[in-house]
Every structure is written in structure tokens, then in C-alpha cells.
């Protein structure tokens, strides 16, 4: 587990990255909003959760795609964009903006030959079906495709807390990884990408990063986004952030037990690396 000093330095770099993202969004009038623990930090701590070591933001799909186009041209050279189309080794169905010559390596990615600088995560948000049974089927189908994409990309599970060699999830992922050998990773990604967007352009009361249904939010609770203090700048959050956070975390204003106060539990952190790879 990284210590408090290292966590603060990671947060400083992420703040720096976030400023670059926000500048591009302001310049092109693109919407973004804090999600998950970042939204919780803005509301409960007026900044980072003290033990958190990442920033997560969401963007409506249209703004997300526009951001990727603009960022490819406007992001300063100290930073880089990482998603499937920029680095096929990437196992993520979202985008990371990382900083060159730093390292933040999570345990489950320590043997994966991808660039692993300190990052901010950007998640695309798509329409959720309004009919209950369609919503259930849509989430389940997209989640299944996502798990297959992850199994094709990785043989390890996505948490350092599951690194035990005898873990069932880890063994199962390795088996599925082998079974997926004949299927191109690009085909799985494109199928997933089409599927999560299939209800865009249709009437919807909610949006979500479809493969993580806990991130869903009602449009009436999301727009217009408002801004809350986040350290020494403002962070956009869902308009009705109380309803959003209670739906995701329950009694979010109550601090977790001390043994639950941790972030990614990274394998390696470096602030002046000689490159972007481990």
C-alpha cells in the first residue's frame, strides 16, 4: 500500500492532468462530470478522498468522441491518450489520459506490456433503455461482452486484492483466455463498442457507462451539471449529487472503517521514470 506522502504526490499529478482535460473541454464546450469516488470526494471532502489515488470522470458519448479528436491534436506532449485505438494492448473500455515519464502500475497489469503512466480515467456514458426488461438484457449482454474482452486481454483479475494463486476468478479467467485464442481482440472490442451504443438516439431517462451499471444516473439528476470545490479548483458533478451518491454508495456521508480506506494498491509508483513501461 502506498503511503500518504506518495498518495498526495499522485493526486498532484492527477490534478495537473485534470487541468489539461478541463481546458480542452472548456475550449470546445464539452460536458464532463465527476463520477464514483471522485464525485464522492467533491461532496464529502471538497477534493480527493484522502486515501484515493485516481480521478474518474464521465462524458456523454458525443462529447467523449469529440474530446478524443480534440485531445489528439491539443494535448501537450507531456501527456498521452490511451485506449484501444491508440494502443491495442489496452484492456480498457474507456480512455486514460496519462503523463509521460511516470509510472502507476496496478498489480493485475504489472506483466502487461502497455504504457502505464499516472492517469485520469474518462468513461463514455450512453443511453439506458427505459423498459425494465430491455434494460436488464442490455446490461447483461454488454457486461458479458466486456468480460470476454477482458479475458482476451488479461489472464489476471482486476484487483490486487485477488492476487492469490488459488483464486477461482483468476483460474477461470486463464481458462477463458485460452478458449478465446481463435477470436481476434479487435472483433470483440468492435462488437462491444456497437452494443453499448445501441440505444443512443432513442428516448431514455438514464445514462450509464453501460458495462458498469452502478455508474448509471438519471438524466434529471445529472443535468445541468453543477460545480463543487475540488481542492483549489471546481469540479463538475451531477446536479442532484445527493441522489446519485446515495444510489451508488448508500450512506455516503459516513466514513468507511479504517481497514477499508485504500485506493488502487499499486505495484509500482514512480514520478521520474525513464519511460512509460515497467
Domains identified in the chain, total number: 1
Question: Cell 504489472 belongs to which residue?
Answer: 110
- Would you say residue 275 lies in a domain? no
Return the higher-pLDDT residue of 212 and 34: 34
| pLDDT-derived band at 200, boundaries 50, 70, 90 | very high
Assigned domain for 278 exists: no
Cα(84)–Cα(128) distance, integer angstroms: 23
Question: Considering the entire predicted model, what is its pTM?
Answer: 0.96
Please name the residue that has the C-alpha cell 496519462.
Answer: 98
Alpha-carbon torsion 159, 163, 169, 171, what sign? positive
Give the pLDDT score at 159: 61
pLDDT at 233: 93
Spatial contact of 38 and 235, defined as CB atoms under 8 Å apart: yes
Place of cell 502507476: 104
Quick check: 72 pLDDT over 90? Answer: yes
A 10 A CB-CB count for 8 gives 13
C-alpha–C-alpha distance, residues 162 and 206, integer Å = 32
| HEC secondary structure over 197-234 | CCCCCCCCCEEECCCCHHHCEEHHHHCCCEEEEECCEE
Domain limits at 235?
4-270
265 within some domain = yes
pLDDT tens digits for 3-28? Answer: 999 999 999 999 999 999 999 999 99
C-alpha cell at 56: 474518474
For 75-96, the pLDDT digits (tens) are 999 999 999 999 999 999 999 9
Percentage of residues in the chain with pLDDT exceeding 90? 87
List own/partner pairs for 46-51 with CB under 8 A and 24 or more apart. Answer: 46/228, 46/229, 46/230, 46/231, 47/229, 47/230, 47/231, 48/11, 48/230, 48/231, 50/4, 50/7, 50/261, 51/7, 51/261, 51/262, 51/263
pLDDT of residue 264: 86
The answer as to whether 46 is a domain residue is: yes
Instruction: Tell whether 277 is covered by a domain.
Output: no
Residue 163 has pLDDT above 70, yes or no: no
User: 58: which strand partners?
Assistant: 33, 123
Q: Is residue 276 part of a domain?
A: no
Residue 203 domain-assigned? Answer: yes
pLDDT for 265 equals 84
Angle at Cα 247 formed by Cα 241 and Cα 249, nearest 5°?
90
Nearest to 220 by CA among 243, 202, 198, 186: 243
Per-residue pLDDT tens over the stretch 109-162: 999 999 999 999 999 999 999 999 999 999 999 999 999 999 999 998 876 554
Across 229-258, average pLDDT: 96
15-19, 148-152, 213-217, 227-231: lowest mean pLDDT where?
A: 213-217
Q: Which three cell numbers stand for residue 88?
A: 491495442
pLDDT band at 213 (very low <50, low <70, confident <90, very high): confident
Q: What is the pLDDT of residue 162?
A: 46
In the predicted model, is pLDDT for residue 165 greater than 50? Answer: no
pLDDT value for 161: 53
What pLDDT score was predicted for residue 204? 97
Average pLDDT over residues 230-237: 96
User: Higher pLDDT residue, 265 or 85?
Assistant: 85
Q: Looking at residue 1, what is its pLDDT?
A: 60
Does some domain include residue 57? yes
3-state helix, strand, coil in the chain (%, to 5): 45, 15, 40
Amino acid at each position: 500500500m502506498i503511503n500518504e506522502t506518495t498518495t498526495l504526490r499522485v493526486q498532484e499529478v492527477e490534478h495537473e492532468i485534470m487541468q489539461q482535460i478541463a481546458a480542452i473541454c472548456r475550449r470546445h464546450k464539452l460536458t464532463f462530470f465527476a463520477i464514483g469516488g471522485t464525485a464522492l470526494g467533491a461532496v464529502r471532502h471538497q477534493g480527493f478522498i484522502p486515501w484515493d489515488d485516481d480521478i474518474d470522470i464521465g462524458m456523454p458519448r458525443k462529447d467523449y468522441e469529440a474530446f478524443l479528436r480534440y485531445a489528439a491534436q491539443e494535448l501537450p506532449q507531456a501527456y498521452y491518450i490511451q485506449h484501444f485505438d491508440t494502443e491495442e494492448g489496452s484492456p480498457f473500455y474507456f480512455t486514460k489520459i496519462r503523463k509521460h515519464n511516470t509510472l502507476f502500475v496496478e498489480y493485475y497489469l504489472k506483466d502487461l506490456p502497455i504504457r502505464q503512466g499516472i492517469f485520469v480515467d474518462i468513461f463514455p456514458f450512453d443511453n439506458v433503455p427505459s423498459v425494465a426488461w430491455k434494460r436488464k438484457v442490455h446490461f447483461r449482454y454488454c457486461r458479458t461482452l466486456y468480460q470476454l474482452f477482458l479475458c482476451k486481454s488479461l489472464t489476471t483479475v482486476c484487483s490486487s486484492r485477488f492476487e492469490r494463486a488459488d483464486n477461482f476468478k483468476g483460474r477461470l479467467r486463464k481458462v477463458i483466455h485460452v478458449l478465446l485464442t481463435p477470436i481476434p481482440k479487435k472483433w470483440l472490442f468492435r462488437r462491444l463498442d456497437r452494443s453499448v451504443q445501441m440505444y443512443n438516439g432513442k428516448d431514455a431517462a438514464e445514462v450509464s457507462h453501460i458495462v458498469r451499471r452502478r455508474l448509471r444516473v438519471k438524466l434529471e439528476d445529472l443535468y445541468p451539471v453543477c460545480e463543487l470545490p475540488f481542492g483549489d479548483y471546481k469540479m463538475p458533478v451531477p446536479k442532484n449529487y445527493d441522489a446519485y451518491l446515495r444510489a451508488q454508495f448508500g450512506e455516503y456521508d459516513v466514513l468507511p472503517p479504517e481497514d477499508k480506506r485504500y485506493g488502487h494498491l499499486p505495484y509500482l509508483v514512480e514520478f521520474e521514470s525513464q519511460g512509460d513501461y515497467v
